Chain A
Amino acid sequence: MTVTEESTEPLLQRPPAEVRYADELAALRAADDGPRPPGWQMGLRAALRFVVGDEQAGISRKFVGNVSLVERALVTLATNRGLMLVGEPGTAKSLLSELIAAAVSGDSALTVQGGAATTEDQIKYSWNYALLVSEGPSPRSLVPAPMLRGMAEGRIVRFEEITRCPLEVQDCLLSLLSDRVIAIPELDGPEGMVFARQGFNVIATANTRDRGVNEMSAALKRRFNFETVFPIPDFDTELALVEAEATALLKQSGVTAPPRRDVLEVLVGTFRELRGAAERGERMSTVMSTAEAVSVAHAVGVRGWFLRGEPGTAADVVASLAGTAAKDSPEDLARLRRFLEQEVPRRKGGQWRALHDARHLLAD
């Protein structure tokens, strides 16, 4: 969730992590003298430092969250179980898997994007049909998909949104994860079996909003270790992150006024409150993630600057919340309104008051 500005690759909107942090990765690899699991580009501690940062060594903090979660994730990948990252949307699961893959394999691009239309072909391999027809099945006509490549090259494969795939497609991972081999029956001889090299493992992500992990088959479940990624627990950390991200986004949008901290405080406070309401059985159907908070902060800044030439105010927060946070659910809108009406007046501080006063801006 950290924005960095890399001028080396001006053509790419968002280069992969191994390109964005190439210098840090190189430095960590060079300085790493710890034990290194076979097939890994660096040891576990170095990988951990890459993800959670190390101020003294000049390694930036890229993932804000539990350190022990990252430790468990890395150790899991060094064993023979896959890693399953679950959590609400917007909790930086994909970022975490990208960072880990970049650290462990130096390559985060072996990615399967799960969806209703995902097929086994996209996971294991398919064929170049022109060559297949003219030459018959051969390694030349084989088109390897990420899983096959990851096994052959000994790299981490990322499987995004695995629970959105049909169950039968998910289950094609079963033999692959336990036997660590893909059979290609069309090919004869040793080429018909691709054994996983050391360094291969799978990081899957699943969000708890769409189709949860409950529908996953028990057989597949037990081939993964589960890690739940949580929203940032600490207010100040989240505020700092939102401020940094929103400032960067605003700069990209041509807004020179930085966001006001007191306005961001009520914004982040509102997000945290609505997120916390889930514990009391009042879950918002809209995702109240930090990423959403950043996008609202961005919208607030843009409104303030282009409409009035100033940083956004609490009134802009209300107006933006209506569109961003309460997207299409009247229930969510009602809950937001109820929060503005009943909860906000109890909070002390100028911007909370302004937020309350602007509640009428929450259009129906």
Chain B
Amino acid sequence: MATDPAAAPSPETAHFIGVRHHSPACARLVARAIAALRPAYVLVEGPADMNGRLDELLLEHRLPVAVFSHYRDETRVATSWAPLCDYSPEWIALRDGRAAGAQVRFIDLPAWHPAFTERAEGAANRYADAEARYAEATARLCERFSVDSVDALWDGLFEVADDPDGLQERLDTYFDLVRGDAEADAGDRAREEYMASWVRAAVARSGGRPVLVVTGGFHRPALRALAAVGGTQWPEVPEPPEGALGGSFLVPYSFRQLDAFGGYQSGMPSPGYYQRLWESGAEAAAGELTRAVAERLRGRGIAVSTAALVAARSLAQGLALMRGHPYEARVDVLDGLAGALITDDLDRPLPWTTRGTLHAGTHPVVAEMVAACTGTAEGALHPDTPLPPLVHDVAERLARLGLDGAEGPVRLDLTEPRGLERSRVLHRLRVLGVPGFTRVSGPADSADPVFTERWEPSPKAGREAALIEAGAYGARLEEAASVLLAERAHTAGTDAGPLAGLLFDAVLCGVGPLSADLLDTLADRVGRVRELGPLGEVLATALGLWRHDRVFGVARGPVLGAVVAGAVRRALWLAEGLHGSGGGVDLGRLRALAAVRDALRYAPEAVPITREAAAEAAARIAGDPLAPQDLRGAACGLGWALGGAADPAATVRALAPDALGDWLAGLFAVAREEVGRGDGTLVDVLDDIVAAMTEDTFHAGLPALRQAFAFFPPREREAVAAHLLERRGRAGSARALLRTTADPLRLARAKALEAAVTDLLTRHGLRTPCRDEHAMGPRTSRPDEHTTGPRTPHPNEHTTGPRTAR
């Protein structure tokens, strides 16, 4: 800083290295450049508001760690991460630059700056390598080089290339091509302008010694141009606007979080592999990867023969040769292993040919291969590092809510604001896996009418470590919890049970404004559930909370609205596709259709389907001869309830007697109220049908019929009975008609048994007319006995007749 700040900038002293953010090859290039140039300044793309705390960053951490930045004002919440691992060029620039005596600086705008908001959706990775805006250019390059993915292209061109001297030139050519095509947006331009002002200021003060600038390769061409002209004052670090909260902190990170396969487009895949590449070179990394995959597979009991490994190795070497790699690259090894070890057809293309998450049901061999690439490293901060903001946030909240020194159990009344707030804090800690409190009682699911919770203090060992780790998810407790829940949603399968659990956790935690990701993911997952019954339960509980919740503050909220919408759509889709002739009643699917009815009736603003469209779908299901009878009945009821042109009486007339009970169960499950409100035509038709039944048919169908009418509460059943009495011109109490003293099913069974015995006797000629007359004597009276007295038919009774007869 000895030179005159006003001296003309001499851009020749500035050396620009454009890097890919998680690239061992770029990291080596940076290290070599620092060793060769001995620069006065090393300027690194990264949040300038961290500059005051670079000492903290350069403590002896165990990598990976991340610079975590958060921002919150009245309209916007944003968080971003800048992950650093051993092979990050930025990390090497900071560490080696400092060691070489250079002044090191972050030179990019703070993460909260509006320049980032155009792309950052809630939570973003500053060091993203696979952004959509480069996609077109990189796709063309991939086609030209005949590779499947940009990661494979990059590895072949740079990571395993055996030519350190030409690396910089190739990098520059590559990024010029990428930049030449992609449109830099206003945010990029603002950032580049800002970074260039740092470069100019550093050049002006370097005394002619080199200035090394390490930024994403995308920015390099623009930076070179911008650094040549302009003022040379040190730029100011922007402060968050009045009333806004923002800052950057160090948090421990992990390879799992870094891996693109883990859910974020912006990671770099396979950090475990690249760590090895960085430590011991491409050849060793390839060998190690093969060994790790074989070990993992054998550990899981999947046979991996030596012959298969030999084949994998020769395949990998052949591929490397063919692709012009001096050593086997990551995809060569993976391709070799896949070719030799998988002897099945796959459901999906191999995951390393594209980017994105692993799907549920990935071939186990493939899943192990990906896991072996990911590695298990977890970062840890040096003990002297200031704690991440989450730790303070939690401490402050616990103190404010009187939960910090709790020795005994805590009872919370969820209907009180303070009780709810305390409950949410504890649930968020629970979701984040922070020990300290255990819930011993409280609502088990969203239908549980329990409004108190009891929490007991539990051992606090590992609490601070857990909090620091959770600090990587957010600066504030509710943000961290919702980011973690979203991550869980990303990895959730399509089983309704875990989804319902996740949803209820989201409700208990009271997820806040960062929940867009969680919301979309939950709705998407619900839209993929495969079973109608469980889906119906999710829908019913979500709808219940959406309509009635007074406790958790989620009524008419977006989270549940999205789930309701997704579930209704999916339920109709599944119902229309449900085929199968198996008789019987599946209450789950009937409840699902009832839930669809309620959603359309009470939450039309949340459901993207019109009543008409739903009624049409219901009509199609009701008329589908392949659909189960109970579902057809329920669909008929749904159409009726939605005001469609359903005519249940006509349908009932056309039903086969053995289908009647199941069909009615469906109808009554969904359209009970419509039946009650109706003019009784349906009951009349039913009465006619039942009256016309033969004894056998009636016996066979009785259990199902009874099950169907069980959907009516006693009062409505009484109304039906009264209607029947009136129709038959009988006087009497409808209630008495319903109150049989013995179980009618047992009566029916007794009757059937008697009939069978009589048959048997007749068949064996033991039932002569006179004896029959004799035997018939007491029998005729029996039905009355049963209906009036508590006597249950005992097998012995039946045998007494024949015995005396004999």
Contacts and interface: CB of A to CB of B under 8 A. Distances in A.
Greatest chain B CB density within 10 A among A208, A225, A330 is at A225
Interface string A321-364: 00000000011001101100111011000000000000000000
A225 B340 contact: yes
Nearest to A84: B343
Interface stretch (B277-285, B318-326, B481-489, B497-505): B318-326
| Size category, A interface | 35 or more
B251 to A, nearest CB: 36
B347 interface: yes
Interface stretch (B308-316, B586-594, B668-676): B308-316
A280 interface: yes
Contacts of A282: 577
Contact of A279 (B321, B335, B347, B569): B347
B799 interface: no
A72 B344 contact: no
A226 B342 contact: yes
Interface in B109-163: 146-148, 152
A17 B590 CA distance: 57
Nearest to B614: A342
Looking at B152, B343, B353, B624, which has the most chain A CB atoms within 10 Å of its CB?
B343
B600 to A, nearest CB: 14
A279 B207 CA distance: 63
Contacts of A227: 339
B319 A66 contact: no
Interface string A78-108: 1101000011000000000000000000000
Given A75-B315, A342-B576, A342-B617, A212 B147 contact: no
B626 A334 contact: yes
A239 interface: no
Interface in B76-97: none
Contacts of A330: 626
A213 interface: yes
Contact of A221 (B343, B608, B616, B620): B343
B699 interface: no
The CB with the most chain B CB atoms within 10 A, among A81, A212, A218, is that of A81
A247 interface: no
A230 interface: yes
B318 A79 contact: yes
B343 A71 contact: no
B664 interface: no
Interface string A202-235: 0000101000111000100110111110100100
- The A contact surface, by secondary structure, is helix
Contact of A68 (B343, B353, B613): B353
B344 A213 contact: yes
Interface string B227-241: 000000000000000
A281 B345 CA distance: 17
B339 A225 contact: yes
Contacts of A52: 146
B342 A68 contact: no
A226 B308 contact: no
Contacts of B339: 72, 75-76, 225-227
Contact of A86 (B331, B345, B354, B626): B345
Given A225-B340, A331-B579, A334-B626, A342 B528 contact: no
A274 to B, nearest CB: 12
A74 interface: yes
B351 to A, nearest CB: 12
Interface in B520-560: 528, 530
Interface string B610-636: 000100110010001010000000000
A67 interface: yes
Nearest to B346: A228
Contacts of A213: 343-345
A72 B319 contact: yes
A203 to B, nearest CB: 14
A32 to B, nearest CB: 13
A38 to B, nearest CB: 14
Interface string B290-324: 00000000000000010110010011001101110
Nearest to B347: A279
Contact of A79 (B315, B331, B335, B626): B315
Given A78-B318, A208-B345, 18 more contacts: A49-B146, A66-B353, A68-B148, A71-B335, A75-B322, A79-B311, A86-B345, A213-B344, A218-B343, A222-B308, A225-B340, A227-B339, A279-B359, A334-B576, A334-B626, A338-B577, A341-B576, A342-B576
4 closest Cβ pairs, A-B complex: A75-B318, A86-B345, A228-B346, A225-B339
Interface of B: 146-148, 152, 305, 307-308, 311, 314-315, 318-319, 321-323, 331, 335, 338-340, 342-350, 353-354, 359, 494, 528, 530, 569, 572-573, 576-577, 579, 608, 613, 616-617, 620, 624, 626
20 contacts: A52-B146, A67-B146, A72-B319, A76-B315, A76-B339, A79-B311, A79-B314, A81-B311, A86-B344, A208-B345, A213-B343, A222-B308, A222-B343, A227-B339, A228-B345, A230-B349, A280-B530, A330-B626, A331-B579, A342-B573
